Amino acid sequence: MKPMTIKDLAHLLNVSPSTVSRALNNHPDISLEVRNRVQLLAEELQFKPNSMAANFRKKQTKLIAIILPKIYRSFVPDVIEGITKRLNADHYQTLVLITEDELQKEIDAIKQCCDMRVDGILLSLSNQTKDLEHLDVCKKMHIPLVLFDNTLETQDFASVHIDDVAAAAQCASYINAKKCKEVIAIYGPAELSISKNRRAGFSAQLSPKIKNLDFFASNAQEAYQIAMTQLQRNQHIAFFGISDEVLLGIVTAIKEQDLTNNTVVVGFSDGLTLPFLHKELNYIFHDGKIVGSTAAEQILKCIDQVEMQLHLEIPVELY
């Protein structure tokens, strides 16, 4: 059966569609008697207003896109939960797009969002993204965009991430306290601000007496190969990993070499799985729900054009 429309209600009540619309919204220009008649019939016929059409008239979609590199482990689902819970409170719906860590798919996702005229975009960059030229279309179309978690340094868009420099410094202090002689630090792609900031914080705080070798990995497999090569060279080294994915590669290599009991590992984790795989693992707890809700708050401020801090850093602790 075809869904009931405002025009259908108007025909049955012998009034204009605009009268029905205003009556359903309790407009004071419509008499109480007419409002009651319209609302009673709408309830009897289980009429549901077309919110998409109403939003279109207001030049809104009430839709915010979340663009993510991938969904793995619990961090990203927690991010999505944090975002959607905050946005739902303001009656926004969400569209989740996955780029599989590929720049071209990120470009395609941005185009799709612009074609759909979404009200805002929350974007976590792919590991292949080196610059933000492909986001110029968002500025031209006046679509608010907030970068979160994986970001690049920019003054064109707001961003949300943890205080990477301070968090990495905490990890370095832990290595210093363990009096390690050598540490292998494995970061993500060098261009990402997450790698730059965490590398800067870790290197600045690390004792000059400790030998520090830096490497870059795009995924767990690359981190595993780096860790395996270094362990074959020296079994008495510590590791610093930039993310859960990198730590997974490191911990896997350590377990295969049967060095779990005498290898120090520190890094950034959601804290749900890896601490059980390596009992010496200490980590910065990266809470996806807080990151998500904070990013959602930022995009709402952008949409409403509320004055705000452009770049937000979330404080964290070492567990």
pLDDT tens for residues 151-169? 888 889 999 988 889 999 9
pLDDT at 119: 94
pLDDT at 211: 95
Q: Which of 14-23, 218-227, 246-255, 294-303 has the lowest mean pLDDT?
A: 14-23
CATH number of 164-285: 3.40.50.2300
- Both structure tokens of 108: 């395609």
The answer to whether domain 62-161+288-314 and domain 164-285 are alike in fold is: yes
Break the chain into its structural domains and give their ranges: 6-49, 62-161+288-314, 164-285
44-53, 55-64, 122-131, 186-195 — which one is most confidently predicted on average?
Answer: 122-131
**pTM (2 decimals)?**
0.70
Q: Which of 84-88, 167-171, 307-311 has the lowest mean pLDDT?
A: 307-311
Confidence of residue 272 (pLDDT cuts 50, 70, 90): confident
Share of the chain above pLDDT 90, in %: 51
State mean pLDDT over 181-206: 92
The span from the CA of 247 to the CA of 241, in Å, is 5
State mean pLDDT over 161-179: 92
What would the pLDDT profile of 41-75 be if each residue is shown by its tens digit?
A: 888 887 776 654 555 445 567 899 999 998 876 68
pLDDT at 53: 52
Residue 190 has pLDDT above 70, yes or no: yes
Residue 293 has pLDDT above 80, yes or no: yes
State mean pLDDT over 63-90: 89
The residue ranking higher by pLDDT, 259 or 187, is: 187
Domain 62-161+288-314's class?
A: alpha beta
